[in-house]
Structure 1
Amino acid sequence: MQTATHDSTTAANGWIACLTYKSVATASPGAGDLQSLVTKARARNRRLGITGMLAFENGCFFQTLEGPPAQLDLLWSSIKQDTRHSHIDILSEHVVTSRLFSEWDLLIDERFLDVPAARSPTPPAVAEHIARIVALALDGDDIRLNALIAGFADEGWTGDAVVSLLIEPAARALGDVWMEDACSAIELTIALSMLQLAGHAVRYAPASEMIRKSRYTIMLATAPGESHMLGTSLLADQFTDAGWKVEMAFPESEQALLNQLGAQQPDAMDIGLSDALPRQHALIDLRSAIAHSRLAALGRPTILSVGGRLFADAAASAASVGADYARKGIAGSAIPIAELVRQNRQRQP
């Protein structure tokens, strides 16, 4: 991923156009095809002052683009004529006052790729920030940790950048510390709680018009008995800022989860495992919870997503536990889950 500065390309009136679409690939792209597409798109986007994200899954492209209206119109005209895809469907088109992906020419979401992709090395400056966050969290220094996280927003970091580049890697680093027997389970839990509280300083881009009008609802739950709730808590901030109605659940048992799901009947439910530890042993119980959740939501079919370090590390997939979607992380989850909800509503009589 490459960073870019786009302040000089913002429209004179301060508005940024934003467009999200999906399409069907006309041929199955290989690893080289996808890499070539991304490389050319990043160069083009940088030239036009366009930022955004691109995902590819099961033969379909899903992309959000944002930038000055005139430049975005020019790019969109080119995209519509690209023979590498067809059946283009615009999911959202609106204007906003700030960018969601201001740090990225093109953020490629590798969880959707059908080919393995190597992780990009963490830039030294970012690695230093992560190390600082981990040290403050383990020391229990909430005042300095809160000030540090809040300071990134003051410096122009987007909410998604703070979460995906700093908070989530710090959570995984804390998990590594515990797995190396360098801290106790209690110290790990306290450190994650510190990180969770500091993360509430992160704010996200305004809701799209589509989500605001649709009044989507989501239940954000930790996996039954899961003691780490960092991801679920930060998801609540993201989905609330994105215009969703949010309910929270921290069930001690599968039955408690099913009772709340049956009572709420939301459009979607996300079940989160630990963002610090892999939790491979939790897969069997998670698979059971999802299977029974589908039965509990028969009256109003619910989109079921899962998340946590287990899925971020690509150690499992949504299909392995019967979910509709597996989050690679916290940032940006509202957009693909909203699309799944939209499709689900269209299928209902």
Structure 2
Amino acid sequence: MLNESRGSFDDIPRDPSPSADLCTVVYRSRAVKPLSDLDLKSLLRTAQARNQREAITGVVLYDSSHFFQWLEGPPAGVERVMESIRNDNRHRDLEILTKGAAPQRRFDGWDMKLAAPGASATSLRSEALEPPRDIIDGLRRQPAAAPSLLVKLVPLLPADNESPLSASLAGRELGNSAAAILRTVILDAVIPSLLDAHGFPPGRIEAPRANPRACELAELLIASDQTAALDLIRELRGKDGDVEQLFAPLLEPAARSLGDLWDEDVCSEFDVTLGLCRLQTAARLLGADSPRRILRVAQPSVLIAPVPGEIHQLVAGLDSEWLWHAGWSPRSEFPANERDLGDMLSSNWVDILDLSLSAAFRREESMPRLAGIIAGARRASRNPTLVVVVGGRAFVEDSAVGAEVGADVSSRTTRDIDRRMLESIQADGIVSPIVRAGRVQ
């Protein structure tokens, strides 16, 4: 018999509303003994037959010592399957990692796939897949991240009539990374170059897509041991990688995932704040050894500040890091209130004011106040054409909000913020006297 697991199925929603028609359970358990290929085949056949009867889909990953399984389907069916799993004597120490209602299936069409090292070489063939090493390592390092790691197995199997290159260009990762690398080159280098050559506005170029491991990073950031989080960032950066390239694909979406974890009551607001601080520290540590550009021309005067009263400073920190590495000399301040901000703008010429809200929370309640702060900043500024840039999760998810609060630019990402600032300055045509004189401030 299995040991009693944490959690029960009493709180799985059984409401007849659409949101309760489907539920998901992810668990972890310890194998009693190593399983042979024949054992795995028997396990898979039993699971497939049982799941077909209950309309259950999912995946089970076996790493030679533990099982990680994702089940999804009607709540009553999932409960019956889990009761059978509890009574399976091939494992013990079953631990529920997540459970609850689900909006849709993530493994539609998979009665049950098996993911195991060496599985592709067994007689199971198409019913099994070889999990990438990073998924295995991630599960061992942080078992609680299993939900976000297991869903990454879906792209490993392209459709039967689909070429690997087509699968990669459609956004599905492959066991062979060559096509995925080609897709990245096309999206991040070739297409932007072609658009630029043909005179398309830079705003037409989409921001880099979020790294699928951003959710995993968020979960690691709220853990007590931060070694795994920093190791993951270093791993994704690569040996010779540029930390700036992690901002939009990884750090920024990880910050939003922290807000989602809070919204789901997985962590406290303090945990989110601590996680954001850890992201900012990681960006600073990993960027310390990155070369800084040497610019021969003067740059605009930029004042970077969180909105007075905003305790989350990640957006301001990332913007400052990006501009500094780009050769600029931004001034970072932390005004306690609107009067302090006004004094900063009235005592020094500022071309661009970069204000930011939380990277994790939407802060809808802050918008009326922010509109007043921006209006007051313009009145206090020595520069009659002050450009105001706003950033934070609220502006990532709805760029129109920036104009509603009176900003000139809504920043959806730190990436290339220097270019967007220059474009806004050129549009206004007025820059600081020192810049016009051709001297760096």
- TM category (shorter chain) comes to 0.5 to 0.7
- Aligned position for 1:194: 278
- Aligned position for 2:259: 175
Change (3 A) 1:191 1:133: same
- Aligned position for 1:319: 403
The alpha carbon displacement at 1:143 in A equals 3.4
What SS class does the counterpart of residue 304 from structure 1 fall into? Answer: strand
Q: Take 1:335 and 1:306, find their aligned partners in 2: how far apart are those partners?
A: 15
The alpha carbon displacement at 1:252 in A equals 2.5
- Aligned position for 1:166: 250
Q: Take 2:353 and 2:193, find their aligned partners in 1: how far apart are those partners?
A: 24
- Aligned position for 1:37: none
Alignment counterpart, residue 246 of structure 1, candidates 330, 337, 346: 330
- Aligned position for 1:342: 426
Tell me which amino acid in the other structure corresponds to 1:166. Answer: L
199-208 or 240-249, which deviates more: 199-208
The alpha carbon displacement at 1:311 in A equals 0.5
Higher gyration radius (CA): 2
The alpha carbon displacement at 1:344 in A equals 3.2
* Aligned partners of 1:207 and 1:243 also within 8 Å: yes
Change (3 A) 1:283 1:342: same
What SS class does the counterpart of residue 274 from structure 1 fall into? Answer: coil
- Aligned position for 2:205: 109
Confirm whether residue 141 of structure 1 aligns to residue 225 of structure 2: yes
The alpha carbon displacement at 1:270 in A equals 0.6
Tell me which amino acid in the other structure corresponds to 2:228. Answer: R
Change (3 A) 1:276 1:164: same
Change (3 A) 1:46 1:233: closer
Q: TM-score, normalised by structure 2?
A: 0.50
- Aligned position for 2:417: 333
Change (3 A) 1:290 1:54: farther
The alpha carbon displacement at 1:291 in A equals 0.7
Q: Take 1:299 and 1:291, find their aligned partners in 2: how far apart are those partners?
A: 13
Higher strand share: 1
Tell me which amino acid in the other structure corresponds to 2:320. Answer: A
293-302 or 272-281, which deviates more: 293-302
Confirm whether residue 184 of structure 1 aligns to residue 184 of structure 2: no
What SS class does the counterpart of residue 259 from structure 1 fall into? Answer: helix
The alpha carbon displacement at 1:248 in A equals 1.1
- Aligned position for 1:25: none
Alignment counterpart, residue 272 of structure 1, candidates 343, 356, 371: 356
Once the two structures are superposed, residues 16-62 of structure 1 have per-residue CA deviations (whole angstroms, 9 ceiling, x without a partner) of: xxxxxxxxxxxxxxxxxxxxxxxxxxx9x979x9546489xxxxx8x
- Aligned position for 2:319: 235
* Aligned partners of 1:140 and 1:194 also within 8 Å: no
Q: Give the paired residue count.
A: 249
Change (3 A) 1:348 1:177: closer
Q: TM-score, normalised by structure 1?
A: 0.62
Relative contact order (alpha carbons < 8 A, sep ≥ 6): 1 or 2 greater?
1
The alpha carbon displacement at 1:287 in A equals 0.6
Tell me which amino acid in the other structure corresponds to 2:205. Answer: D
The alpha carbon displacement at 1:152 in A equals 2.8
Change (3 A) 1:293 1:53: farther
Change (3 A) 1:190 1:348: closer
* Aligned partners of 1:146 and 1:201 also within 8 Å: no
Confirm whether residue 302 of structure 1 aligns to residue 396 of structure 2: no
The alpha carbon displacement at 1:298 in A equals 3.8
The alpha carbon displacement at 1:225 in A equals 0.3
Change (3 A) 1:107 1:51: farther
The alpha carbon displacement at 1:279 in A equals 0.5
The alpha carbon displacement at 1:263 in A equals 2.5
Q: Take 1:242 and 1:348, find their aligned partners in 2: how far apart are those partners?
A: 19
Q: CA RMSD in A?
A: 3.5
* Aligned partners of 2:346 and 2:382 also within 8 Å: no
Q: Take 1:132 and 1:308, find their aligned partners in 2: how far apart are those partners?
A: 21
Identity, % of aligned pairs?
26
User: Which residues of structure 1 form unaligned runs of 5+?
Assistant: 1-42, 56-60, 64-75, 89-105, 112-118
Once the two structures are superposed, residues 263-286 of structure 1 have per-residue CA deviations (whole angstroms, 9 ceiling, x without a partner) of: 232221110000100111111111
* Aligned partners of 1:220 and 1:249 also within 8 Å: yes
User: Which residues of structure 2 form unaligned runs of 5+?
Assistant: 1-181, 434-441
